[in-house]
Amino acid sequence: MNRKRIGLKHVKLLFIKLVLSLFLLSVAWVLLYKWVAPPATLHMLQRRAEAGAAAKEDPYIKYEFVALEEISAQLPLAVVASEDQLFLEHNGFDFEAIMDAFKRNQKGGNIRGGSTISQQVAKNVFLWHGRSYLRKAVEAYFTFLIEVIWGKERIMEVYLNIAEMGDGVFGVEAASQKYFNKPAKDVGRQQAALLAAVLPNPIKFSAKRPSGYTLRRRVRIARAMGRLGGTTYINDILPEKDNEKN
């Protein structure tokens, strides 16, 4: 009996050590990326593998991390207007949007997400893509961590750099260079709205050859950017030099 109790205590101790180790590692990982640009994400590696398996002519990932100071203020405004208009107000989760998406998905048809920009960053930087409850739980954990440790400005900076905006094209710098032949800092409102318009499905929608649907989405996003009040709406996450312009 005593041996069983000792064995059980040993298992519990190992479990506690494992949980504590994973917690410390996850915090260290998030802290590192607060200051260091992610060299790649699991999603980028997956897309690279898929491109290689398909024997594409250009299987390489296009990705260049740039600071928020080197990104036009129209771009964060566009993704907020398109993806998450409560980004500056919530703590990582928009529960109303999540419940709305859940109700829609229960009815069948196309599955829709209710993820905030913070949740998308947590998923794309730290996790794999999938729809399991385990992944969603870990996503919520990392969302909480980046909200607490990074803050909104860093979350937006990372999002704009790692979001896929075309087949193998990640981030606004690579997308701006590829589609507009200019750096991200020189992108205007309509071009920013166009990049935001392809975010729901960057493989299906194209900023280079936009369909009628994509162009209509661009118009709606550009209007939403105006209704929000322009770049003044996101002053709290803009670098000082951009704040001075508004």
Domain boundaries of the chain, sorted by first residue: 1-36, 38-245
**Tens digit of each residue's pLDDT (9 = 90 or more) over 165-196:** 998 899 999 999 999 999 999 999 999 999 99
* Better-scored residue on pLDDT, 109 or 166: 166
Residue 237 near residue 153 (C-beta atoms within 8 A): yes
Q: Mean pLDDT check: name the lowest of 34-38, 65-69, 202-206.
A: 202-206
Among all chains, which residue has been given the structure tokens 């032949």?
Answer: 181
Q: How many CB atoms lie within 10 A of CB 168?
A: 22
Domain 38-245 is found in CATH 1.20.1600.10? no
Between CA 63 and CA 164 the distance in angstroms is 9
- What predicted TM-score, i.e. pTM, was given to this entire model? 0.87
Tell me, what's the pLDDT at 244? 45
Q: Which residues, in sequence order, are bridge partners of residue 62?
A: 169
Between CA 61 and CA 59 the distance in angstroms is 7
